[in-house]
Chain A
Amino acid sequence: MVRVGFVVTRRTKQNILMSTPVVISGSLVLGLLISYVIIWITMGIDIISFFGTFYQTITSYTGLLEPFVFLAMIGTAITIGFYGSFWNVGAEGQYVMGMLGAIFLTMFSPLNSIFTQDNVLLATLTKVVVVIFGGVLGAFWSLIPGALKAYAKVTEVPVLLLMNYIAYSISDYLTAGPWKGKYTYGYIRTDQIPESARLTTIPGLEMLRYEVLAAIVLITVFAYVLLEHTTLGLKIKFLGTNPVALKSSGYDDKVVTLLTATLSGFIAGLAGSLRLLGYDFRLPYNIGDGKTGFYGYTAILVAWLSFRNIRYVLISALIVASLNSFGYRMQMLLKGLLPPGLSAYAISLVLIGVTLVVYTIVRVLKEYSIKLVIKT
Chain B
Amino acid sequence: MMEILSWFITALAPAYIVYTLTSLGNLLIERSGILNIAIDGFFVLSSAMSYTYAILISQYLGPGELPTFLSIALTVLSIALMYSIFTSLITVLPVSQGAIGLSFMFAGYGLGAIVGNIGRLVFSIHRVRVDYIGMTIESSVLAYIFIAIVVTFIHVLLYRLKLGVFIRAVGEDPRVASQVGVNVTYIRFLSGLLGGSLIGLGGALFTLWRIGGWSQGQGLNHGWFAYAISIAGWRFPLLVAPISAFFSSLYVLSPHLQSIGLPVEVSTIVPYITSITIMALVSAIPKRSRVFTDPKALGREFFREERA
Contacts and interface: CB of A to CB of B under 8 A. Distances in A.
A161 B114 contact: no
Interface residues of B, number: 59
A340 B124 CA distance: 10
Interface stretch (B16-24, B91-99, B126-134, B189-197): B91-99
Contact of B114 (A169, A301, A350): A350
Interface string A40-59: 00110000000000000000
Given A39-B114, A169-B269, A364-B94, A152 B280 contact: yes
B98 A343 contact: no
B221 interface: yes
A289 B307 CA distance: 50
B98 A349 contact: no
Contacts of A176: 263, 265
Contacts of A42: 114-115, 118
A341 B120 contact: yes
Interface string B271-308: 01101100111011000000000000001000111111
A353 B106 contact: yes
A169 B107 contact: no
Contact of B94 (A89, A151, A157, A368): A368
A357 B216 contact: no
Contacts of B41: 353
Contact of A339 (B121, B276, B304, B308): B121
A232 to B, nearest CB: 23
A300 B99 CA distance: 10
Given A8-B93, A38-B111, A339 B120 contact: yes
B27 interface: no
Interface residues of A, number: 63
Contacts of B284: 151-153
A363 B100 CA distance: 11
Nearest to B107: A353
A253 interface: no
A308 B306 CA distance: 27
A349 B110 contact: yes
Contacts of B113: 342-343, 345-346, 349
A224 interface: no
B6 to A, nearest CB: 32
A267 interface: no
Given A169-B265, A361-B95, A353 B221 contact: no
A242 to B, nearest CB: 13
B30 to A, nearest CB: 10
B231 interface: yes
B224 interface: yes
A148 B308 contact: no
Given A161-B221, A161-B224, A154 B280 contact: yes
A170 B265 CA distance: 7
A153 B282 CA distance: 10
A158 B227 contact: yes
A200 interface: no
A363 B280 CA distance: 34
Interface of B: 35, 37, 40-41, 89, 92-96, 98-100, 102-111, 113-115, 117-118, 120-121, 124, 185, 216, 221, 224, 227-228, 231, 263, 265-266, 268-269, 272-273, 275-276, 279-281, 283-284, 299, 303-308
For the complex of A and B, the 4 pairs showing the least CB-CB separation, nearest first, are A353-B107, A349-B110, A346-B113, A356-B103
15 contacts: A8-B92, A148-B280, A152-B281, A159-B276, A162-B224, A165-B221, A339-B117, A341-B120, A342-B113, A342-B114, A346-B109, A346-B216, A350-B114, A352-B110, A353-B104
